[in-house]
């Protein structure tokens, strides 16, 4: 079906939304990814009809046949973006067009139908508008999870002929549970996240499933996150389990691993590169080895490192552990450049600072 296809959303009233008092209690400390709103968006796809039967309806379990293709062949993709409450009582999204485009690229890689950008945006706007009371005040936000999976009932290795696109929402606070000034990371030398020609640049569930054992290993060694090396030489830093990574050097410059099919093209990553260049900071997209990371941290050439992503925003990395030992970065906490870039990013995201690049999408 054409990428310009439009749909008309039906609205299904919620018979019993959560009472305001109970919702307010949940929003006091929502954590991350455990408090869900009243509604969801659903849109069906078939080869015969294209995108159809679009609804905003009460959040509920999904009926699924045991032979649904996603359960056997893992055709599934997803996105993550946040809605922020503004000072005037409105709500905004940060660069949702980029999420829509990345969703299309993920779909292409997984042999799935392309959801038009306008439909993706309308679905997100509709859910945020409908569940606006679920957007937390303060530093919280409403995390949106658009996703799509194959739901044709068959057993056989081929692209499905039917899919379900959905958007659900979760009221969230901080992603990391630690109160430490920086997170610790474990360098995985046994497991890799993605290989050339694979699905590393797609946001699909299989990539994250493959990272879980390595993340469990990181937790076992007292670390908050895992760092993956490249699959070919096992020496080049690629990304964390669910975040991109940046390095800050003593000359004030930044570097980040280059995209090339094995690293997810993060929207936060792209935004930080632009903001850094706006400030006159030199940014290199180049390979950086684990050995060089250790050496530069020891000599002081490397002053800071941080992870970034929609969920974690900008999070300083203080300690790096591996089977070869442990080293600290700088003072083991955050650094001036990390905090400067985080403040610039969050200021735009929360409409507290000018938006020179037109990144803010106003929902209402």
Known catalytic residues are: 203
Measured CA to CA, the distance from residue 349 to residue 346 in angstroms comes to 5
User: Alpha-carbon torsion 34, 113, 128, 244, what sign?
Assistant: positive
Measured CA to CA, the distance from residue 173 to residue 189 in angstroms comes to 32
CB 173 within 8 Å of CB 142 = no
Going by their DSSP bridges, the two strands 225-229 and 183-188 should be labelled as parallel
User: What are phi and psi for residue 123, nearest 5 degrees?
Assistant: -65, -45
CB 275 within 8 Å of CB 267 = no
For 115, which DSSP code?
P
Count of CB atoms within 10 A of residue 234's CB?
A: 13
Which residue, chain included where needed, has tokens 């045991």? 66
Which residues in the chain belong to E strands, given as ranges? 9-11, 39-46, 50-58, 76-78, 81-85, 91-94, 141-150, 162-172, 183-188, 225-229, 237-240, 244-249, 254-256, 283-285, 302-309, 313-322, 325-328, 360-362
Alpha-carbon distance values, 117 to 3, 51, 113, 126, 228 (Å): 8, 13, 12, 14, 31
Alpha-carbon distance values, 167 to 56, 146, 188, 281, 346 (Å): 9, 4, 33, 37, 24
């Amino acid at each position: 079906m054409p990428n310009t296809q439009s749909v008309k959303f039906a609205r299904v009233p919620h018979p019993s939304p959560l009472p305001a008092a109970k919702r307010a209690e949940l929003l006091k400390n929502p954590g991350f990814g455990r408090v869900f709103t009243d509604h969801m968006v659903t849109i069906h796809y078939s080869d015969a009809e294209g995108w159809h039967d679009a609804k905003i309806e009460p959040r509920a379990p999904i009926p699924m046949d045991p032979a649904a293709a996603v359960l056997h062949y893992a055709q599934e993709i997803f996105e993550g973006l946040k809605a922020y409450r503004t000072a005037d009582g409105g709500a905004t999204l940060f660069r949702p067009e980029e999420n829509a485009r990345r969703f299309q690229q993920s779909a292409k890689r997984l042999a799935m139908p392309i959801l038009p950008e306008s439909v993706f945006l309308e679905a997100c706007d509709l859910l945020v508008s409908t569940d606006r009371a679920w957007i937390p005040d303060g530093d919280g936000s409403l995390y949106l999870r658009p996703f799509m999976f194959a739901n044709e009932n068959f057993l056989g290795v081929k692209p499905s002929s039917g899919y379900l696109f959905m958007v659900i929402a979760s009221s969230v606070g901080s992603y990391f549970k630690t109160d430490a000034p920086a997170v610790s990371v474990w360098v995985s030398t046994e497991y890799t996240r993605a290989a050339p020609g694979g699905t590393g640049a797609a946001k699909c569930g299989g990539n994250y499933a493959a990272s879980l054992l390595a993340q469990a290993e990181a937790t076992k060694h007292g670390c908050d996150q895992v760092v993956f090396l490249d699959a070919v030489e096992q020496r080049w830093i690629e990304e964390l389990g669910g975040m991109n990574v940046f390095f800050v050097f003593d000359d004030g410059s930044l570097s980040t691993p280059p995209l090339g099919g094995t690293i997810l093209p993060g929207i936060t990553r792209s935004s930080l590169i632009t903001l850094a260049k706006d400030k006159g900071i030199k940014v290199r997209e180049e390979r950086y080895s684990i050995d060089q990371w250790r050496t530069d941290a020891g000599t002081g050439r490397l002053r800071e490192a941080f992870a970034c992503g929609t969920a974690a925003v900008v999070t300083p990395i203080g300690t790096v552990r591996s089977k070869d030992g442990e080293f600290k970065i700088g003072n083991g906490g955050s650094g001036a450049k990390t905090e400067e870039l985080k403040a610039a990013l969050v200021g735009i995201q929360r409409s507290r600072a000018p938006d020179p690049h037109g990144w803010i999408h106003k929902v209402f």
